[in-house]
Amino acid sequence: MQNAECRIKSLLFCILHSAFCTHRLMSLTQTVPPSGEPVSREEAKTALRVDGSHEDAYIDALIVSARTYAEIATARQLMTATWQLKLDAFPAAVIELPRPPLQAVNWIKYIDAAGVEQTLASGRYLVDTHGEPGRITPAYGRSWPVCRKQLDAVEINYVAGYGGSHQVPQTIKTAIEQLAGHWFKLREPVVTGTTAAKIPLSAESLLLAEGWGGYS
């Protein structure tokens, strides 16, 4: 169990360290949020063995918090959402898109050397939606265009996520239910001596199994 906990801590450190080291070179914004949650209120209430509606608002909030925790821990997008990635320049070759799984790239825009915004023709690049993370490379015989040397010179709009709630891996959904249940029962930090109660190791292990690390 100690080895598993160390691996979990190492994964979270790598995610946070990557975000800290790359924040000056890229920015990532969710422009269209998911239309729902991977775990429904009814599923959470069944797992919690809660009847009635007096706790509904609190359970809804716990689902959102648990899902957010799961997305950060796994560095993934669970339900379908649209993201905007901005780079200061095109890389040498491959662009890796955070928050897999990647569904599609909507467009790539850039500021050319004259300061004019251009939309890169889709035939000039290839998109890999099968690997994790999703990748974009110039098409065969092509290279990335020259862009102006300025902040956020390149902008990529893409769709990521597993799809609907029924497509999210059950391991992640179970972890979300366990986290929500843990927080539902312990509404304030429980302290024994000087050690506060931790996130259930079972939930962390489930998330570790689905995490790939890299970006947050």
Name the percent of the chain lying above pLDDT 70: 80
Give the confidence band of 174 by pLDDT, cuts at 50, 70, 90: very high
DSSP state of 146: P
| Whole-number average pLDDT of the chain | 85
Rounded CA-CA distance 7/211 in Å is 11
pLDDT band at 61 (very low <50, low <70, confident <90, very high): very high
118-157 pLDDT, tens digit each: 999 999 999 999 999 999 999 999 999 999 999 999 999 9
* Confidence (pLDDT) at 20: 41
pLDDT of 55 strictly over 80: yes
The C-alpha atoms of residue 177 and residue 171 are separated, in whole angstroms, by: 10
Tell me, yes or no, if the pTM score tops 0.85: no
CA 212 to chain centre: 10
pLDDT at 78: 97
Query: Is residue 198 scored above 80 in pLDDT?
Result: no
Nearest to 184 by CA among 52, 78, 65, 74: 65
Q: Above 80 in pLDDT, residue 106?
A: yes
Confidence grade of residue 206 (pLDDT, cut at 50, 70, 90): confident
